[in-house]
Amino acid sequence: MFEKILIANRGEIAVRIIRACKEMGIRTVAIYSAADEEALHAQMADESYCIGGALAKDSYLNMDSIITLAQKTGVEAIHPGYGMLSENVEFARLCEENNIKLIGPTAAVMEKMGQKERARKIAMDCGIRVTPGSKLLTSAKEAVENAEQIGYPVILKARAGGGGKGIRVVRSRDEIREAFTQIKKEAENSFGDNGVFLEKYLEKVKHIEVQILADCKGKVIVLGDRDCSVQRKNQKLIEESPAPVISDELRKRLYQASVTLAGKVGYTTVGTIEYLVKGEDYYFMEMNTRLQVEHSVTEMAYGIDIVEWQIRTAAGIEIPFNREDIPQKKHAIECRICAENSVDFTPSVGKVELLHIPGGVDVRFDSALYQNYEITPFYDSMLGKLIVCADTREGAIRKMKSALSELVLVGVDNNREMHMRFMENREFTIGTYNTGICRGMT
């Protein structure tokens, strides 16, 4: 097992990883930007170092500085969290060249599955359906030509995108040139990779994810599934596990496809395979070769610490259990609490003047917030994740309503009230909702 790990991230996910490491007896090194000196993760780690300026490109995306610090502090591994450098192939290679373990798949596997356009080809080779799409686009002119051939609406995607960034739905030729330019710029700033491709955009479908865990001996197991269909502008807002109203037969097919795909590329550690589902048909969308924001909801539903097992499998520890050893225990729901204006949903900033976190049995709030903490404009707007679980889905909805009503966050505009409305929405409560549910609601 590793003795010392550097966390190449910030905020909620850095805090989550530090907590897991503390429980495992692993020392931690945190990095922080000039804007994050007072951040919780910088205070919690055993060692903390300023890595650069406030902008992500000057700090959390500064690969050379992170590798240099890792060498100086004597860490054996780097945990990239999600976003930032978590799916950056160049960073994965730098780690390997410097004999530092990146907690995730190898650079070769990441290049295949983390780069979305290549993952589509591999899925097709495995007999898994995908939506029509393009290769990497070299110009706006090429984007227009491919969109015309595929047919609108299409969706432009950064191959290294995630967290709702680097993605844009385009409904007409008039929009595509500007969208292409914007996506390339956003992808470069957020992930250090401006590769962009496009796919046919399917509307009013379910967005279903399958969480997998794989070890160095080739064992791949499914930990569970979740429904992530509540989205606004392709940014997930609510996730639940297991996914409601999908048949046992479809679930079995999704699990088998996921195991086949991971086995095909020799995948290791934690990963998520995402599908679009329409009735009993499903289409491979992408694989996230990293930990995801919504891992927490699967942890609550299935009773397994995904972050700890990600670290264990990265260290070469074999998985001692099988899928049948981790049956679903609960139904869990997660609401992403974001700093945003309640009228136009633009990101908001400010100081946390008052904070009360909900409590009770099976209530969890993953966050890096504390009273008097200053929310800056430099990073993602997510403030935390409120997760609950209960024996039934109906019980989980009731518990989430109770937890949301107890959450107090004063000083920063946030989307708590929007989540309260979702918990009362009939389409959501009966489980038949799809990716179009936000229209007219938010």
Please list the active-site residues. Answer: 290
Question: Helices 11-24 and 306-314, interaxial angle, to 10°?
Answer: 70
> What is the SS3 assignment for 242?
coil
CA 305 to chain centre: 16
Q: What is the DSSP string of 394-415?
A: HHHHHHHHHHHHH-EEESS-BS
Q: How far are the Cα atoms of 214, 217, 220, 409 from residue 266, in angstroms, in the given order?
A: 9, 9, 9, 44
The percent helix, strand, coil of the chain (3-state, each to 5) is: 35, 30, 35
Sequential DSSP letters for 43-93: HHSSEEEEEE-SSGGGTTT-HHHHHHHHHHHT-SEEE--SSTTTT-HHHHH
**Closest by Cα among 396, 352, 417, 310 to 2:** 310
| Triad 213, 219, 224: Cα angle to 5° | 35
Say if CB 174 and CB 140 are below 8 A apart. Answer: no
Rounded alpha-carbon distances, angstroms, from residue 216 to 70, 212, 398 = 24, 14, 41
Alpha-carbon span 133 to 148, nearest angstrom: 11
Q: CB count, 10 Å around CB of 392?
A: 10
Which residues, other chains included, contact 27 with Cβ-Cβ below 8 Å and sequence gap of 6+? Answer: 3, 4, 5, 21, 46, 47
Residue 256 contacts by C-beta under 8 Å, 6 or more apart in sequence? none
